[in-house]
Amino acid sequence: MISESLNYVRNDEDWIRTVLIGGVLSLLSFLVVPTILVAGYLVRVIRSTMHGEEKPPAFDDWGDLAMDGLKAAIIGFVYMLIPGIVAGVLVGGSIFTIVLGQGSNGASILGSIGVVVGLLVAFVLGLLAAYVIPAAVANFAETDSLGKGFAIGELRPILTSGKYFTAWITGFAIILAASIVTGVLSVVPLLNLVIGAFLTFYAAVAAYYLIGNAWGELHDIQMQESDERPDEQAAI
């Protein structure tokens, strides 16, 4: 499955164009809009692979791509909002305790413990959110309904399945490996920036390929037919 995911992009003869566009958009992610477009492409990857399509989607219909990406970004933002709020409350409250009790060893120790606990809780919740988000995006991609991204009752059987867990952890490992390689390239700053953007995009596509496949199998989505059905002619 790992080899299939890594070779997925190359199933199209125009794969170099796809990687170039995705890499450039990733490189310009600080402009926000390119990030949304990449997110939209990943939605397309999930949507096509859940139907058994082995050929990667193209970067086209940019308006639809942006809308899908914006909705996926909203889903990710909402799920990540909870860890952010928890971190803000616990860590912020602990720092306030330290400042308020300045000069008191007890307040400093209590505040420091609170900071550590707050960061740990936020990390765990953030990891949990990162686990849920691909499934939430997949549910949106299948139904084209933003609300389905938050249908926890529908997501729960998927999230607790071994197939989804395997797909997620494998995808996470691919993205992590890409990050490590990018880190190694940091000895050459410009090379790290450019190659890292393309490598990150490639890894993300491979990871979401795994999610789309797992989702399709778990939902028994029928594979799309390669040939169009002939139109039935009316009887004379």
Full pLDDT tens readout for the chain, 236 residues: 788 889 899 988 889 999 999 999 999 988 999 999 999 999 999 999 998 888 999 998 899 999 999 999 999 999 999 888 887 887 777 776 666 666 566 666 777 777 788 788 888 999 999 999 999 999 999 999 999 999 999 999 999 999 999 999 999 999 999 989 888 887 777 777 888 899 999 999 999 999 999 999 887 654 443 344 444 433 33
| pLDDT reported for residue 163 | 93
Quick one: pLDDT at residue 104?
62
The pTM of the full predicted model, rounded to 2 decimals, is 0.84
Q: What is the pLDDT of residue 100?
A: 65
Please indicate, yes or no, if residue 223 is contained in any of the structural domains. no
- Does residue 123 form part of some domain? no
In a domain, 20, yes or no: yes
Confidence (pLDDT) at 214: 93
In a domain, 112, yes or no: no
Q: What is the pLDDT of residue 222?
A: 45
**Within a domain: residue 224?**
no
Cα within 13 Å of Cα(87), Cβ side: 12
Is residue 99 in some structural domain?
A: no
- 98 lies in some domain: no
pLDDT for residue 98? 64
Any domain includes 69:
yes
Contact 72, 204 (CB under 8 A): no
**What DSSP assignment string belongs to the chain?**
-HHHHHHSGGGSTTHHHHHHHHHHHHHTGGGSHHHHHHHHHHHHHHHHHTTT--SPPPS--HHHHHHHHHHHHHHHHHHHHHHHHHHHHHHHHHHHHHHHTTT-HHHHHHHHHHHHHHHHHHHHHHHHHHHHHHHHHHHHHHHT-GGGGG-HHHHHHHHTSHHHHHHHHHHHHHHHHHHHHHHHGGGSHHHHHHHHHHHHHHHHHHHHHHHHHHHHHHTTPPPPPSSPPPPPPPP-
Residue 191: domain span = 2-78+134-218
Both tokens of 7, joined, read: 């070779």
Q: How many domains does the chain have?
A: 1
